[in-house]
């Protein structure tokens, strides 16, 4: 299993984006992570937000392969 806490946000975003692309999912990084990347981390974001038209169940299957899990509401 990959230790994601040691990957900077830009590299993690690129990794996830490529994984989605490899699985024929078109997605665009949006939100605070974009600000972090373009400001050289002057402004910090601690999550990745992607915009896509793909069904959530398809995305979940792909992300599950690399250990990502959907958080359940408390």
Whether the CB-CB separation of 30 and 51 falls below 8 Å is answered with yes
In the three-class reduction of DSSP (H, G, I as helix; E, B as strand; rest coil), residue 69 is classed as coil
Over the stretch 16-62, which tens digit does the pLDDT of each residue have?
999 999 999 999 999 999 999 999 888 888 889 999 999 999 999 99
pLDDT at 3 over 90: no
CB 50 within 8 A of CB 16: yes
- Alpha-carbon distance 12 to 48, whole Å? 9
pLDDT of residue 35: 93
Higher pLDDT residue, 26 or 71?
26
Instruction: Report the alpha-carbon distance of residue 28 to residue 16 in Å, rounded.
Output: 11
Kind and range of the H or E element at 64?
A: helix 56-64
Q: For residue 68, is pLDDT > 90?
A: no
């Amino acid at each position: 299993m990959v230790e994601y806490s040691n990957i900077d946000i830009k590299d993690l975003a690129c990794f996830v984006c490529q994984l989605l692309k490899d699985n024929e999912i078109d997605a665009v990084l949006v939100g605070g992570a974009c600000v972090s990347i373009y400001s050289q981390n002057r402004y910090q974001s601690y999550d990745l937000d992607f915009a896509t038209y793909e069904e959530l169940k398809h995305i979940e299957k792909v992300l599950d392969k690399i250990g990502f899990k959907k958080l359940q509401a408390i």
